[in-house]
Amino acid sequence: MKAVLKLRRLWILLTIPAAFALILAASHSESFAEGYARGFYPALSHAGNLITGLVPFSVGEILVYALITFLAASLIRFAIRMVLGRGKRAITAAKFIVNLLCAAGILLFLFTIDCGVNYYRSTFAETSGLTVKESSKAELVSLCQSLADDADRLRPETETDSGGVMKLRLSTFSENSEQARAALDGLSGKYPLLRSGYSGPKPVLASRLMSQCNITGIFFPFTFEANVNTDVPEYTIPFTMCHELSHLRGFMREDEANFIAYLACRNSPDTDFRYSGAVNAFMYASNALFSADPDTAGKIYSGLSSGVLRDLDFNNRYWDRFKGPAADAANSVNNSYLKANSQKDGVQSYGRMVDLLLALRRSEGKA
């Protein structure tokens, strides 16, 4: 045991209490969290994103593969040492545990300063001046119908594949990535906290694996990259791109990232993005209405144009292929992650994404 206590790397374990101290400070002081989100985070994320943005592939994805390989090699090495090292097994096991704790501490601390504190910042509604409150069913019905009308109006302006399903007009990922970056940058004038200057999202090589885990995109905080699943139905990709870029800009709550993605898509000059935003927002509103009034929700849904219905049916059939233990496990892990980072439902009536849509509608005098 004395040999373990003499290890020079033990000081790295201080990263664990340091990370918890930062989270504790953020959770008890909104001013601390907001100061971090407005000051330290933009400087850190811009610097990190500037470096990783120099290459077109996801540095984060490569690091994940490297980490998996390293862990596998470390386990094999540990097993060999335990088998051959008679008389030294206790110290070998102790050092291995210390190494694991040091690695976990470093990752936890980096996660905390890279994005963890942002979960406790002021809400986007508060910083943008939107008033979120309980809304009537009539307002929700009006919202659903309006989004359905937007989707129906935009769908004929999009291109389709041989099966009549919407496909992106821009053929390369990089072109659509640039559109997503420009769409988020375009919001910075009205919403200054959505700072510009970041690179666009990146494609994930193992996109089919992401689909098997029911993941459409992921923000990798250690490299400040927005990563997108490219195997999914194409009409969902622009919305997902903007969603992940919202995380990159420091808004970690899922409901807020969805809302910001809708704002970006709606204000984009690209028809594909506007259509993607309208359809995805409609599905959130429609699901909320279905919980309150299934008959009305069903009527609005069935009244969608044939093109929109075809896209939604294709999306349902795509995700049906991946139902199973892997998807269930991934959803369980994601739910635990969100709860651990204080993403709990508030007193809003229809879910935060929909309540933000309703608040925006009221602010524009459309309620």
Here the tokens at position 27 are 């959770």
Task: Please tell me the predicted confidence (pLDDT) of residue 334.
Answer: 52
For 221, the 3-state DSSP assignment is coil
Q: Which of 50, 318, 350, 308 is nearest to 198 (CA)?
A: 50
**Which uninterrupted H or E stretch holds 286?**
helix 271-292
How far CA 256 is from CA of 5, 95, 122, 289, 359, in Å, comes to 46, 43, 11, 19, 13
Q: How far apart are CA 306 and CA 312, in angstroms?
A: 10
3-state secondary structure string across 71-138: HHHHHHHHHHHHHHCCCCHHHHHHHHHHHHHHHHHHHHHHHHHHCHHHHHCCCHHHHHCCCCCCCCHH
Q: What pLDDT shows up at residue 214?
A: 92
pTM score above 0.85: yes
Q: What tokens were used for 275? A: 């259509």
User: In angstroms, what CA-CA distances link 130 with 2, 44, 196?
Assistant: 59, 28, 21
Instruction: Quote the pLDDT of residue 346.
Output: 40
- Give the per-residue pLDDT at 4: 54
- The dihedral sign for the CA sequence 32, 38, 41, 47: negative
- Which helix (H) or strand (E) element contains residue 220? strand 217-220
If we measure between CA atoms, which residue out of 68, 63, 266 comes closest to residue 183? 266
The predicted structure's pLDDT at residue 88: 80
Mean pLDDT by 10 residues, the chain (367 residues): 62 94 95 96 97 96 96 92 81 86 95 96 92 90 97 98 96 96 96 96 97 95 98 98 97 95 97 98 96 95 97 96 70 54 48 92 82
Residue-wise pLDDT tens digits, 7-55: 677 889 999 999 999 999 999 998 999 999 999 999 999 999 999 999 9
Side chain identity at residue 44, one-letter code: L
Long-range contact pairs involving 229-232 (C-beta distance under 8 Å, separation at least 24): 229/204, 230/173, 230/203, 230/204, 231/207, 232/207, 232/315, 232/318
What integer pLDDT is reported at residue 200 of this predicted model?
Answer: 97
Structure tokens that stand for 244 in this block: 């992940």
Distance CA(330)–CA(210), nearest Å, equals 10
